[in-house]
C-alpha cells in the first residue's frame, strides 16, 4: 500500500521507478513494477495551449470514458487490460501490463512491408479476430474512436489473442454512421501504416460482416463514409 500512497503524491513517476515507454499527444505511458506485478500507468498531461479549466474538463472526460469503456468491454468478454487504480486528481489510470506486441509491430516483423505476398494463416487469423472483436465492441454500442494497429495488442500468453487499448476517445452510440466511421478510421490507419495491405483489411471486414446481424447496415454506411472521405481528399 505504501507505494500506492507514494504514487498519489508524486508528480514525477520515474522517481518511484516507473519507466516511460511512450509519449502520445495527450498522455505519457509508464511501466512500473508494482509489488512484483508489472503494470501500466497512463498519465494525461496538461496542455498549456488550452484554457486550464477546459483542459481539465477534457482530461477528466477522457479518463472517465476510458475507464467506463474498459469496464464495459471486460464485463462483456472483450479482452482489454484489467483496470487497477484511477487517480482523477493526478489524471492517472493504472492498469494491467499486457505482455505482447502491437499488431503494428507484429505486421512489421512478419510482413517486411510486403503485405500482399506474406499473408500467413496466423496473420489471417489475427485479422479475422480483429473484425470479430470490433463487431462485439460495436454491438455494445461502443465506438472506440481511435482504432489503429498500435491500439491493438497481441497477448503472448494466449497465443497472440487480441487486446484492445486506448479508449480515451471512445463514446456510446447506436448509429450505424458512427460505427462505420470507426471502421473507416481503422481502414485509413491500415492504408497509411501498412501500404498495400487492402487484402488484410478485407479479412477484417469479412469477419466483421460474419459476426453480427447488425453488420450489414454498418458496412453499407461504410461505403458512404468512404465516398465522403475520397471527396474530402480530392477537394479539401
C-alpha–C-alpha distance, residues 153 and 217, integer Å: 28
Q: Where are the alpha helices (DSSP H) in the chain?
A: 2-9, 52-75, 103-111, 121-139, 176-193, 198-211, 215-235
Contact partners, residue 164, CB within 8 Å, separation at least 6: 73, 78, 79, 80, 133, 137, 144, 151, 152, 153
Q: Are strands 152-155 and 161-164 parallel, antiparallel or unpaired?
A: antiparallel
CA atoms within 13 A on the CB side of 105: 10
Residue 97 binds ligand ATP (CB under 6 A):
yes
Minimum separation from the CB atom of position 199 to ligand ATP (A): 24
Say how many C-beta atoms besides its own lie within 10 A of residue 85's C-beta: 14
Report the residue number whose CB is nearest to ligand ATP. Answer: 24
Closest CB to ligand ATP among 63 and 218?
63
Residue 233 binds ligand ATP (CB under 6 A):
no
Sign of CA dihedral 54, 56, 61, 66: positive
Q: Which residues are catalytic?
A: 146
Single out the segment in contact with ligand ATP by CB under 6 A; choices: 52-60, 84-92, 147-155, 178-186.
147-155
Minimum separation from the CB atom of position 217 to ligand ATP (A): 29
Of 149-188, binders to ligand ATP (CB under 6 A) are: 150-151, 153, 165-166, 168
Length, in residues, of the chain: 236
Residue 102 binds ligand ATP (CB under 6 A):
yes
Site map 1..40 versus ligand ATP, x via CB under 6 A: --------------------xx-xx-x-x----------x
Minimum separation from the CB atom of position 105 to ligand ATP (A): 8
Binding site for ligand ATP (CB under 6 A): 21-22, 24-25, 27, 29, 40, 42, 81, 95-98, 102, 150-151, 153, 165-166, 168
Amino acid at each position: 500500500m505504501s507505494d500506492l500512497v507514494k504514487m498519489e503524491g508524486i508528480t514525477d513517476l520515474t522517481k518511484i521507478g516507473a519507466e516511460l515507454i511512450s509519449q502520445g499527444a495527450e498522455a505519457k505511458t509508464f511501466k512500473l513494477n508494482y509489488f512484483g506485478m508489472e503494470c501500466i500507468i497512463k498519465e494525461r498531461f496538461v496542455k498549456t495551449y488550452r484554457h486550464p479549466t477546459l483542459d481539465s474538463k477534457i482530461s477528466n472526460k477522457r479518463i472517465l470514458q476510458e475507464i467506463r469503456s474498459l469496464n464495459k468491454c471486460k464485463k462483456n468478454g472483450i479482452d482489454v487490460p484489467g483496470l487497477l487504480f484511477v487517480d482523477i486528481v493526478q489524471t492517472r489510470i493504472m492498469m494491467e501490463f499486457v505482455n505482447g506486441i502491437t499488431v503494428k509491430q507484429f505486421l512489421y516483423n512478419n510482413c517486411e512491408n510486403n503485405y500482399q505476398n506474406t499473408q500467413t494463416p496466423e496473420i489471417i487469423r489475427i485479422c479475422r479476430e480483429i473484425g470479430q472483436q470490433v463487431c462485439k465492441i460495436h454491438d455494445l454500442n461502443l465506438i472506440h474512436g481511435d482504432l489503429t494497429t498500435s491500439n491493438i495488442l497481441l497477448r503472448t500468453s494466449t497465443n497472440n489473442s487480441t487486446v484492445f487499448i486506448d479508449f480515451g476517445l471512445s463514446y456510446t452510440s447506436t448509429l450505424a454512421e458512427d460505427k462505420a466511421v470507426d471502421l473507416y478510421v481503422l481502414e485509413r490507419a491500415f492504408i497509411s501504416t501498412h501500404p498495400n495491405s487492402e487484402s488484410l483489411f478485407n479479412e477484417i471486414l469479412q469477419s466483421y460482416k460474419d459476426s453480427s446481424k447488425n453488420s450489414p447496415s454498418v458496412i453499407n454506411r461504410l461505403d458512404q463514409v468512404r465516398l465522403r472521405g475520397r471527396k474530402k481528399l480530392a477537394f479539401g
